[in-house]
Amino acid sequence: MSELLSETALDQLFREARTFNAFLDKSVSDELLHQVYELAKFGPTSANASPARLVFVKSKEAKAKLEPFLSEGNRAKTMAAPVTVIVATDHEFYEKLPKLFPHADARSWFVGNQPLIDTTAFRNGTLQGAYLIMAARALGLDCGPMSGFDNAGVDKAFFADAPAVKSNFLINLGYGDASRDLFPRSPRLSFDEACRIA
C-alpha cells in the first residue's frame, strides 16, 4: 500500500508551490531534465498512449527561435527563465501503441477515427504536462506554466518535421526567485463549491 507523504512533501508539491514569473540566475542541468522526464513518464494515460512530446528550450539559439512567438506579457520572463518546456501533443500517438500497449490491438481503435484521436491526444498530453510540473516540483524545481503564445508559429519553428505534433502550453522551469514578480496566491474554490459526492 502507498504511504502518506510528509507534510513537507505536500507543501512542496501543492500547498506552498507557486507559479513563478522570475527565476534565479542558476542553470538547470540536462541530467536533471532527464530525471524530471523519467519521473513524469509514469503518470497514467489512456491505453498508455503517452502522446506528449516535449522540447526543453534551453540554448540561446533555441530561445531566440521561440521568442518571436511569445506574447508581450510572457516574453521577458520566458527569455530569462533557464528552461522553457514546449508541451506538445503527437496526434499520431497511436502508431506507438503496439509498443506501449502490446496486449491488445489498441492502434486499431484509433486509425481513421479523427475525433477520438484528437480528444485522446489532447486530454492525455495535457495530463502529461501536469505530471511534468509535479515531477519538476518533486525534484526541487519551480514552474511557470502558461499559454499566451502563437501555437502555429511554434509548431512551424519546432515541429516542421513532425506535422502531427501540435504545441499545447509552455512551462518555464528553474529555481524560483520569490523576491520578484511573485503575486499573492489567488483564492481557490472550496470543496462545496467545486465538488459533490454522489
Domain ranges within the chain, ordered by starting residue: 18-176
| pLDDT the model gives residue 129 | 98
Q: What is the pTM of this model?
A: 0.96
Question: What are the tens digits of pLDDT across the range 25-73?
Answer: 999 999 999 999 999 999 999 999 999 999 999 999 999 999 999 999 9
Neighbouring residues of 140: CB distance < 8 A, sequence distance ≥ 6: 175
Asked if residue 140 has pLDDT above 80, the reply is yes
Asked if residue 11 has pLDDT above 90, the reply is yes
Helices (H), 11-51: 30-40
Taking domain 18-176, whether its CATH number is 3.20.20.80 is answered by: no
Q: What is the DSSP string of 87-114?
A: EEEETTGGGGHHHHSTTTTTHHHHTT-H
| Chain centre to alpha carbon of residue 20 | 15
Q: Using the structure block, give the residue that is written with the C-alpha cell 502522446.
A: 51
Asked if residue 169 has pLDDT above 80, the reply is yes
Q: What is the mean pLDDT of the chain?
A: 97
| pLDDT the model gives residue 26 | 97
Asked if residue 1 has pLDDT above 80, the reply is no
